[in-house]
Amino acid sequence: MTDVLAIAEHRRGTLRDVSYELITAGRELAEETDGELHLAVIGGHLEEFTRLLSKEGVDVIHAVSNGEEFNHDVYTQIAEGLVEEIDPGVVLVPNSVNGLDYGPALANRLGRPLVSDVTDASFDGEALSTTREMYGSKVETTVEVDAERTVVMIRGGEWPSADDSGDPEIRERDASIDESAVRSTVRAFEEVGGGDVDIADAEVLVSVGRGIDEEENLELVEELADALDATLSASRPIVDSGWLEKNRQVGQSGKTVTPKIYIAIGISGAVQHVAGMKGSETIIAINTDPNAPIFDIADYGIVEDLFDVVPALIEEFER
Ligand SMILES: Cc1cc2nc3c(=O)[nH]c(=O)nc-3n(C[C@H](O)[C@H](O)[C@H](O)COP(=O)(O)OP(=O)(O)OC[C@H]3O[C@@H](n4cnc5c(N)ncnc54)[C@H](O)[C@@H]3O)c2cc1C
């Protein structure tokens, strides 16, 4: 029997999607060994968060009141205290900016091995087996953890979100913090890359690549995004050219997205791009090159000039 403790994530008053994905991952691991799934949520709007996180398969939610926003020292201390109390075999942390900030420190304090950026995890008998990608997502590796107690950081967008409601036990608690060990404070919040669009939340993404040729042509794909009520995203060269903000970039060094529909327009499908969008439910690609790698993963492919196809689509959707 291995209990699992998953640590939810929130930002600026909203739970991040990865919190629900952690529940699915944690539930699978706990079920495999007949263990319990504990969930911790630290700070923020605890009443609302515990209600939203009350999903089937969650046994206990630890709602720890402490501040509004993430703080490295506070999260590390609180998580360490919870682990010492619950003694879970696996601690699940999001492989997010915040998670990468405190996850390794937590593992270090607990003296546990850490497996980061995990895309799959299961128990192979007693041993925990995890999947990671290497060499720019070209290779998938299996890492078997040679320890009974581990910290595992999971990549967002790899597990489906838990959405079936449940009735976990809620344990409310005030954090007992050693203030002398808190050496950082969050004084302000600034979104890097400008804008408050989160492409990871979009259900439909119209994504544009170098095939668009010139910045002024972006207007065309923006029109298509408007006609579809979709969000605009891009491959890296578009962002590197300064044509769109960094928060629109899909891929290994951008965001991982899992929309219902992903329309790749003039995007070749390089591994670093595909790493960020392969989890999309339906992929539609428009590209003049029939051998473009994007067609290997597309559900529907249009081998045509985007400057012919996109206006035709806009006309059709505006009808
Ligand atoms: C460490 C590292 C990290 C990276 N991270 C990312 C990342 O996060 N995201 C990312 O996207 N890339 C990333 N890259 C870059 C990546 O390797 C590719 O260079 C990039 O994805 C290519 O973008 P693209 O498909 O838009 O351009 P291209 O590869 O140039 O493809 C353009 C495509 O448009 C098609 N085309 C041209 N004209 C038309 C037309 N008129 N109509 C239809 N199709 C047309 C072409 O056939 C071609 O397939 C990274 C690279 C490195 C080394």
pLDDT digits (tens, 9 = 90+) for 86-131: 999 999 999 998 999 999 999 999 999 999 999 999 998 889 999 9
Ligand 1 atom nearest to CA at 253:
8
Residue 194 has pLDDT above 60, yes or no: no
| Tokens (6 digits) for 36 | 């319990």
- Mutate which of 287, 294, 306, 310 for ligand 1? The one with the most ligand atoms within 8 Å of its CB, which is 287
* Residue identifier of the C-alpha nearest atom 49 of ligand 1: 268
Ligand 1 atom nearest to CA at 267:
25
Q: What does the alpha-carbon distance between residue 59 and residue 240 come to, in Å, rounded to a whole number?
A: 45
What pLDDT is stored for residue 136 in this prediction? 66
Residue 307 has pLDDT above 70, yes or no: yes
Q: How far does the centroid of ligand 1 lie from the alpha carbon of residue 212, in Å?
A: 11
Question: What pTM value is reported for the model?
Answer: 0.76
Confidence band, pLDDT 50/70/90 cuts, at residue 134: confident
Amino acid at 274: V
CA distances from 71 to 65, 110, 161 (A): 13, 18, 25
Cβ partners under 8 Å of residue 190, min gap 6: none
Q: What does the alpha-carbon distance between residue 102 and residue 175 come to, in Å, rounded to a whole number?
A: 17
Q: What does the alpha-carbon distance between residue 179 and residue 269 come to, in Å, rounded to a whole number?
A: 49
Residue 198 has pLDDT above 90, yes or no: no
CB–CB of 302/309 below 8 Å? yes
What pLDDT is stored for residue 111 in this prediction? 97
Residues with CB under 6 A from ligand 1: 209-211, 235-237, 249-254, 266-268, 270, 272-273, 276, 286-289, 292, 305-307
What radius of gyration do the chain's Cα atoms show?
A: 21
| Tokens (6 digits) for 259 | 């929309």
Residue 213 has pLDDT above 90, yes or no: yes
What pLDDT is stored for residue 25 in this prediction? 98
